[in-house]
C-alpha cells in the first residue's frame, strides 16, 4: 500500500452532484436516521449507468496501479467503491470524494465496517464498529486509527521485508499510537501479512521489477530508441504491487539494498533516474 496521488479528482459538476446526494443525508436529524439513509441511498446510486458514479469510478481507476489493482493489497482487481471511513459509522462522508478508494472484494468485504479511533477525550484506542448485524452507534470524536492512503504515506509506519518474508514490518516504535495504527491497519483490518498469496505475489513482483530494470539498462546500453525506453519505463510504472518497487528504491537510498541483492543495487547505480520512476 502506497500513498495515492492527490492530483486526481472528478470534474466540478460531478463533485457538486455528490454534494447534492450528501445533503439528502445531512438534513436528517438523528445519527440513526443519517446512518440508515446512507446505507439505503449509496446502494441505489452506486450502480452502472449512474453518470456520477461512472465518472467517479474512472477517476478511482486512475489511482490504481497496473490493471486497476486494489489500492490496499495491490493484487486483485479493484472493483468496489470503498469508504475509508465506513458510511454506516460516518454518514457525513458517505458521498465524499476524498473518502473513496477502489478496493477488491477480498479487502473490502472483511474490512466492512471495521474502524477505530484514538478517542479525543482520553487518547485511548477504541474500535467503533458495531457487532455484525447490529445498528451502528455514533462513534466518539477521535483521530482515525486506520492508515488513510489518500492523505498519509504508509511508508512512514512500516517497511516491506524484501529479504525473506515479503511481509510488512512495523517500524513505528512499539507502544506508540503510530505502532498501534499500523498494527490495526495492516494485520487486523486488511490482513496484508496473513494472506500467503499476497506474500508470493510480492516476491514475484520483486523479480519482475528487477528483470524489467535489467532489460531497460541492457537495451539503453545497446542504443534503444527514446520511444522504446519510454515504453519500458511505463511498463515498470504501471506494474502491480508498486509498494515493492517503491521499497526497492527506498532500500537503495538507505544503502541497504546491497545486502539484499547486490545485482539490483548495481542496476540502480547504472540507471539512477529509476529512483524517480
Q: What are phi and psi of 68, to 5 degrees?
A: 55, 55
Which pLDDT tens digit goes with each residue over 45-95?
Answer: 999 999 999 999 999 999 998 889 999 999 999 999 999 999 999 999 999
SS3 call for 1: coil
CA distance 245 to 274: 10
Which pLDDT tens digit goes with each residue over 88-128?
Answer: 999 999 999 999 999 999 999 999 899 999 999 999 999 99
Q: How confident is the model at residue 135 (pLDDT cuts 50, 70, 90)?
A: confident
Q: What is the mean pLDDT of residues 223-237?
A: 96
Whether the pLDDT of residue 178 is over 80: the answer is yes
Give residue 133's Cα distance to chain centre.
27
Is residue 71 a contact partner of residue 78, using CB atoms and an 8 Å limit?
Answer: yes
Which pLDDT tens digit goes with each residue over 5-49?
Answer: 989 999 999 999 999 999 999 999 999 999 999 999 999 999 999
Q: How confident is the model at residue 143 (pLDDT cuts 50, 70, 90)?
A: very high
Q: How confident is the model at residue 130 (pLDDT cuts 50, 70, 90)?
A: confident
pLDDT at 179: 97
pLDDT at 134: 81
Which pLDDT tens digit goes with each residue over 189-222?
Answer: 999 999 999 999 999 999 999 999 999 999 999 9
The 8 Å CB, 24+ separation contacts for 214-222 are: 214/263, 214/267, 216/271, 216/274, 217/267, 217/270, 217/271, 220/271
Q: What is the grid cell recorded at 52?
A: 456520477
How large a percentage of the chain has pLDDT more than 90? 92
28's CB contacts (< 8 A; 6+ apart) are 34, 37
Q: How confident is the model at residue 133 (pLDDT cuts 50, 70, 90)?
A: confident
Q: Helix crossing, 12-26 with 31-45: angle to 10°?
A: 140
Amino acid at each position: 500500500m502506497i500513498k495515492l496521488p492527490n492530483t486526481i479528482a472528478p470534474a466540478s459538476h460531478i463533485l457538486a452532484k455528490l454534494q447534492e446526494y450528501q445533503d439528502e443525508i445531512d438534513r436528517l436529524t438523528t445519527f440513526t436516521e443519517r446512518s440508515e439513509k446512507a446505507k439505503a441511498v449509496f446502494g441505489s446510486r452506486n450502480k452502472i449507468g449512474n453518470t456520477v458514479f461512472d465518472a467517479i469510478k474512472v477517476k478511482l481507476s486512475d489511482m490504481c496501479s497496473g490493471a486497476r489493482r486494489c489500492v490496499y493489497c495491490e493484487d486483485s482487481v479493484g472493483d468496489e467503491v470503498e469508504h475509508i471511513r465506513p458510511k454506516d459509522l460516518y454518514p457525513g462522508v458517505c458521498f465524499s470524494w476524498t473518502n473513496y478508494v477502489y478496493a477488491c472484494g477480498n479487502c473490502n468485504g472483511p474490512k466492512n465496517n471495521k474502524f477505530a479511533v484514538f478517542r479525543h477525550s482520553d487518547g485511548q484506542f477504541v474500535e467503533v464498529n458495531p457487532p455484525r448485524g447490529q445498528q451502528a452507534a455514533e462513534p466518539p470524536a477521535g483521530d482515525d486509527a486506520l492508515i488513510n492512503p489518500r492523505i498519509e504515506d504508509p511508508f512512514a509506519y512500516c517497511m516491506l521485508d524484501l529479504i525473506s518474508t515479503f511481509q510488512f514490518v512495523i517500524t513505528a516504535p512499539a507502544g506508540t499510537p503510530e505502532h498501534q495504527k499500523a498494527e490495526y491497519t495492516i494485520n487486523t483490518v486488511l490482513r496484508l501479512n496473513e494472506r500467503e498469496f499476497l506474500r508470493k505475489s510480492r516476491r514475484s513482483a520483486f523479480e519482475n521489477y528487477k528483470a524489467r530494470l535489467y532489460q531497460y539498462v541492457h537495451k539503453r546500453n545497446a542504443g534503444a530508441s527514446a520511444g522504446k525506453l519510454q515504453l519500458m519505463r511505463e511498463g515498470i510504472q504501471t506494474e502491480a504491487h508498486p509498494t515493492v518497487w517503491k521499497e526497492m528504491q527506498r532500500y537503495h537510498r538507505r544503502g541497504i539494498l546491497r545486502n539484499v541483492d547486490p545485482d539490483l543495487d548495481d542496476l540502480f547505480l547504472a540507471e539512477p533516474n529509476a529512483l524517480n520512476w
